[in-house]
Structure formats: structure tokens, C-alpha cells
Amino acid sequence: MKYRVFLSSRNNDSIMLGNEEGENLTTIRRFLKEELEKEKLLDEDWLEIVINEDFNSDTSKEIYENCIDKIKNSELTIAMYNGFSGWAPDGFNMGICHAELFTALNISLKKTSIIDIKDHFKYRAEDDAQRNRDASFVSYLKQINRPMNPLKITKQNYTSEDFRNELLKDIKKIIFYSLNERIRTSDLSFRMSGGLFVSLDWKKLKYTDRNKYITEILDELIKADQDYENIITKSYCVPDNLSVTDARAYTRRPFLKDQEIIQGHSKKKGPLHFIGVYGTATEIQVKNLVGYPDITTVKGEFGIYVWEQNMHTQMVFLTDCNTPESVKIKYRLFNNWCDSRLERDNIEARAEARYQIMHAINEAAKIIEKNS
């Protein structure tokens, strides 16, 4: 198996060397592919660089879709942004470079990197459609708030060779970092796999003990997390699979007590409920626990996020919390999901709406009590 890296960029745009044009990006990408694929790992060829010059299609639409498919089958996507979103087939309003980055980020934030090379190119939009696509790409880059690595060339008068070599150096660093992250993630996965002594110890625990340990760890994590300093949060545990009735009894339907939870609280948003599930949970089981199916459920590496759109109830089910390390990893994965999907502000807004609804219910109860 080879480590596939997809290089995304425009093709025919040329770098600017002062007022002169240098090599175009097709030539540069072919150079990068050739140099990177020379790299050996323990004397073995291990790296495959994917560029769209290497696969042919009959129509522009097929080329567009082929690029997207190649990204889905790659371990890493490196987008080289030069100010353009790229061309698009008839009927498409998203440039190919925009579409490639959008696809890569939707697959995984960890499998995508952006190198900003726009300072080395002159912007020349071809028509209004292209300018609109480019503006949309700029807006998207601002929205995702994704850090970009600006290409820095120290020489005042540099050559095409200087540009190629600096880009090669940056890409090597990105691939090395990606491999490090893969090894670290693999290690975390092993520690969550259940083969460690601590996992075996937790298997021997009673429900009451699992409940105690999981909720305590969640409480500590949330207390130390600035992202929730303005939101009322509550921690719970399902000390087995969510399908087990006795295990569900430890959580029941925690949102039914939200109007009590907010009383006298200094924070004015929430509650947001975190539920550490020792075992597994499905979207159907979550909906059954809530009591009605018409809710938003989003499944991720962390577990399942739940939002009820009328009353703005929010719950986070962190699954496979079968070791202390697993609880911490799942909590971290949820926060990574919030940031990568731009959900954090939405979650906070929903928490504020939930508080206002619960506060209104409490105020209404006071009026009724006063007049009864």
C-alpha cells in the first residue's frame, strides 16, 4: 500500500518573476511528483503523488468528477492556493480547486493542508463567471478559518527553480507532519481498543462505579475547557450499551429537568448535556431515548450529537468510553468536530435559545403560582 498525496492547484497559471512569467503550475507539479516519489522508506517506494495531469477524461465534467474521486481515495490533500478557484464545467458554479478543497475538508480536517502561493501570481480573471467563482472561494476560505502556510522565498530576485525547491521543502514538511499525526492517531486507537489492562479493569466494574468514573472525567474536562465557560453543562453516563434498559436508567431523559437546572445559575446559556456511553449507541436508540424521532442527529468519530429544533435541546453522546483515555479522546474528537464543521457558534446560539425557553417556562410557572 502506498501513501497517496493529492496535489490540488490550477494548471496553466505561471509564477511571476518580477515582471516576467516563469514556469506554469503543470510543470511545477510534475517536478514535485518526480522529486517526491524518489523518496524511500526503509528502501521501499511508499509515496504516490496524484496530479490531474496523470488521468484523462473525455469531457470537462468527467475531469471535474474524477478529481473529486481521486481526493476521496487519497491519504492527504495539499491545496496550493494562488488566488483562483479554477474552472468549472457548464452548470457548475464552484471552481475545481474550490470543489477539491471542499471535498477534502469534508472527508477529514486532519487529511488536508493549504499552501498560500498567491503572492507569487498575478490575478487575471477571465470573465464575470470566473470572478464570481474566485470571490466565492475567498469567502469560503475566510469562513472555514483554516490556517494556511504562506510560501516564503527569501531571495528578492528568485527563479522558477527557487520557487519549485521552496514548495518542495514545504510539501515534505506537511507530509512528514501528516505521517506523525497518523502514527499518533493509530496509537490513540490502540489505547481505545480494549486490549489494555485498564480496559479489562473497567469491564469488571459495576454500573455504579463506571457511572462515577465517566461522569467525573467528563466534569473535569468540561471545567478546564474555555469553550464552555459561558454554557451550563451537565455530565451523565450510560454504563453499558445504550440498548441496555438498566444502563439507560442512569441517564433517562436529562433534558426534562432543564428548567430546574438553570434556576439560580449565573450562566445564561444551556443546558448542554454530555453523556458518556461505555459501549455503543445508534441514532435510532438515541431517538428512542429522547422520545420522538423528529430530531437532528449527527454521527461522527466521537459518537452522536443531538439537537431538537423546536425547544433547542442539545445532547452529546460520546460512545465507546471504556477507559479513562477513551473518554478524553472522544471528548477531544467532539471538539475537533465542532471546530472543523464550524458548529461551535451554532451550538452556543442554540444553548442561549434553550436557556431563554426554560427561563420563560419558569417565569410562567411563577405567574400561575402567584395567582392560584
How far apart CA 218 and CA 12 sit, in angstroms, is 52
Asked if pLDDT for residue 339 goes beyond 80, the answer is no
Taking every pair of Cα atoms in the chain, the longest distance, rounded to a whole number of angstroms, is: 85
Q: Which residue has the higher pLDDT, 90 or 81?
A: 81
**Nearest of 100, 95, 131 to residue 113 by alpha carbon:** 100
Residues written for the chain: 372
The pLDDT of residue 369 is 84
Strand partners, 14: 24
How far apart CA 32 and CA 163 sit, in angstroms, is 11
The pLDDT of residue 202 is 81
Put simply, whether the predicted model's pTM sits higher than 0.85 gets the answer no
Give the model's confidence band at 57: pLDDT under 50 very low, under 70 low, under 90 confident, else very high.
Answer: low
Give the model's confidence band at 78: pLDDT under 50 very low, under 70 low, under 90 confident, else very high.
Answer: very high
CB atoms within 10 A of CB 10: 23
pLDDT in tens, 7-24: 999 989 999 998 899 999
> What is the domain partition of the chain in residue ranges?
3-185, 198-367
The answer to whether the beta carbons of residues 297 and 284 sit under 8 Å apart is no
In the chain, what percentage of residues exceed pLDDT 90? 63
The answer to whether the beta carbons of residues 237 and 268 sit under 8 Å apart is no
Asked if pLDDT for residue 242 goes beyond 80, the answer is yes
CATH code for the domain defined by 3-185: 3.40.50.10140
Asked if pLDDT for residue 259 goes beyond 80, the answer is yes
The residue whose grid cell reads 480536517 is 109
